[in-house]
Amino acid sequence: YALYLIHWPVLITYLVLRDRPMAGPRSGAAIVLVCLVLAVLVTRLVEDPLKRWAWPERSRLRLAAVIVVCLAAVAVPVTAARVAEERRALEISAAADRNNPGAAALLPGFRYQGDPDAETIPVITGEPYAKPSLGEPCPPGTGIDERFQQWCFDTVPNPEPSATMLVIGNSHVHQWIPAVELLAERNDWRVVTYIRGNCLYALPEEQVADHEACARWLEGTDPVVEAVDPDLVLVQGTRSTDEDQEQFTPGMEQRIRGLAERGIQVVGLRDNARFDFVPARCAADHGADAAECTASHVILGPDSPLAPVAELPRVTMVDMGDLICPDGTCAPVVGNVFTYWDNNHLTVEYVRTLAPLFAERVEEALLADGAGFPVGS
C-alpha cells in the first residue's frame, strides 16, 4: 500500500524538477528503486507503528482528533498549493497584455515590451479542448422547435441590434466566438449561435463523424434560420484535414448558395490548418523553435475551393491563415502565446489576440462585397 501511495508523487516530482514529459528506461528504473526503498521505510516507520498505536482507540474523542489532524495534514498543503497556483494564474493573466501579445506581435512596427522570461500561455494541461462560452440558451418564444433548442444560444443579446448574425457550424466556428463577440460589439449586432461539434454545415452523407446526431442537428438548420431571420450568417466555408487537404463539399456549397439566394449575407470562414501532431505538446517537449514542431498545410496557399463561390453576390470569404501561420509556416507559439490547443483547435487566448484583426477582416470583406451590409456603425 505504501508503494501505491508513494510512486506517483515521486514520479511527478521527478518530471517537474527535470522538466520532462516522461521518464526514460534508466530514470524509470531509478524511480522504481527509490519508491521501493521509501515504501519499506514508510511501512516500518509510519504504517506499522500507527497500526500498533492504541491511544486513539481509547475514546471516540481521541479518534476524532486523530482523524482531524490527518485530514488537516492533507488539506492544508493541497489548499495552499491550489491558492498559490490560482494566484500565479492571475498574475500571468494580469500581465498578458504586456507579456503575451499573441497575434499583435505580427503587426508592423511591433516591439516586445514584456518580461524576457515571461511564461507562454495558456498552460498546456492535456485536458480536452475547452470551448468558449456560448452564453445563454435561446429564450422561449423564438419559434425554434424543442428538438433543436439544445444547440441554439443567444450568444450576444441585443434588444435593438443594427443587424443579427447567426453562426452555424461546429467547433471550428465555435473557437472564433471571442472574436465574433468583439465584431458584434463594434457593430452593435446581436449574435445567435447554432453549433454542434463534429457536424459540417453540409449534407448528412458528407459528415465525417456522429452521423446520426449530425443529421438531427442539420435538420434544425433551416428552421433556425427561419426563426432567427438573420441579416448575416457566419459558416465554416471549407474544412482542412490532417492529410494536407482542403475540402469544400457540394453540400457546403449548396448550403451557402441557398442562404445567399434567400437574401442573407454569408461569410464563409476558410478553415485553419490541422495536423497529425499537437504543436503545443511538441513545443513543451522539444522547445518552441524545434523544427519538428512546425508545419505547413495546403490550406495556407492562395487558392481556395471556396473562392469561386465567394464571388457570388452576398457571399464573401474570410481567411485568417496568415495570422495563425505567418509566412506559410505554423509555429506552435506566436507572440508568446500557444496558437493551437490540440492538433486542430486554436487556443482561446490566441483567438482573443486575433479578435481585432478578425473584426477588421470581416468588416472589410463585407464592405468589399458591395451589398451595402451595415458595418462600422
204 and 88 in a common domain: no
172 and 42 in a common domain: no
37 and 159 in a common domain: no
188 and 62 in a common domain: no
Q: Domain of residue 253: give its range.
A: 136-369
The C-alpha cell at 129 is: 479542448
Give 289's DSSP letter.
Answer: T
How far apart CA 93 and CA 90 sit, in angstroms, is: 5
Cell 505567418, residue? 326
Give 376's DSSP letter.
Answer: -
Residue 316 backbone dihedrals phi, psi, to 5 degrees: -145, 155
359 and 212 in a common domain: yes
- Residue 111 belongs to a domain: no
Cell 465584431, residue? 183
Could you say which of 96, 123, 156 is where a domain stops? 96
257 and 311 in a common domain: yes
Whether the ω angle into residue 122 lies within 30 degrees of 0, i.e. cis, is yes
- Residue 274 belongs to a domain: yes
- Residue 112 belongs to a domain: no
163 and 57 in a common domain: no
Going by C-beta distance under 8 Å and a sequence separation of 6 or more, which residues neighbour residue 274?
A: 240, 241, 242, 297, 343, 344
274 and 222 in a common domain: yes
How far apart CA 255 and CA 240 sit, in angstroms, is: 18
- Residue 86 belongs to a domain: yes
Q: To 10 degrees, what angle do helices 348-369 and 177-187 make? A: 50
153 and 78 in a common domain: no
Evaluated on CA atoms 301, 194, 206, 198, the torsion sign reads: positive
**pTM exceeds 0.85, yes or no:** no
The domain total for the chain is 2
Cell 498578458, residue? 96
281 Cα distance to chain centroid: 14
171 and 81 in a common domain: no
Could you say which of 96, 116, 145 is where a domain stops? 96
Instruction: Determine the pLDDT at residue 74.
Output: 80
For the chain, give the longest Cα–Cα distance: 87
The C-alpha cell at 187 is: 457593430
Going by C-beta distance under 8 Å and a sequence separation of 6 or more, which residues neighbour residue 224?
A: 144, 148, 152, 166, 168, 192, 194
Spatial contact of 227 and 142, defined as CB atoms under 8 Å apart: yes
Cell 479578435, residue? 355
How far apart CA 203 and CA 219 sit, in angstroms, is: 10
280-285 long-range Cβ contacts below 8 angstroms, 24+ apart: 280/124, 280/332, 280/338, 280/339, 280/340, 280/341, 280/342, 280/347, 281/21, 281/124, 281/126, 282/332, 283/120, 283/332, 283/333, 283/338, 284/21, 284/124, 285/21
300 and 167 in a common domain: yes
- Residue 116 belongs to a domain: no
- Residue 118 belongs to a domain: no
CATH number, position 169? 3.40.50.1110
- CA atoms within 13 A of residue 332's CA, in its CB half-sphere: 26
3-state class (DSSP) for residue 33: helix
Instruction: Determine the pLDDT at residue 86.
Output: 59
- Residue 156 belongs to a domain: yes
Helix, strand, coil abundance in the chain, percent, nearest 5: 50, 15, 35
36, amino acid identity: L
pLDDT in tens, the chain (377 residues): 889 989 999 988 888 787 676 788 888 999 999 999 999 999 998 888 878 888 877 888 888 888 888 888 888 877 776 665 556 555 555 556 789 999 999 999 999 989 988 999 987 766 777 889 999 999 888 889 999 999 999 999 999 999 999 999 999 999 999 999 999 999 999 999 999 999 999 999 999 999 999 999 999 999 999 999 999 999 999 999 999 999 999 999 999 999 999 999 999 999 999 999 999 999 988 999 999 999 999 999 999 999 999 999 999 999 999 999 999 999 999 999 999 999 999 999 999 999 999 999 999 999 988 767 777 65
- Residue 131 belongs to a domain: no
How far apart CA 215 and CA 259 sit, in angstroms, is: 19
DSSP per-residue codes, 90-123:
HHHHHTHHHH--GGGGGSTT----S-TTPPPBS-
237 and 153 in a common domain: yes
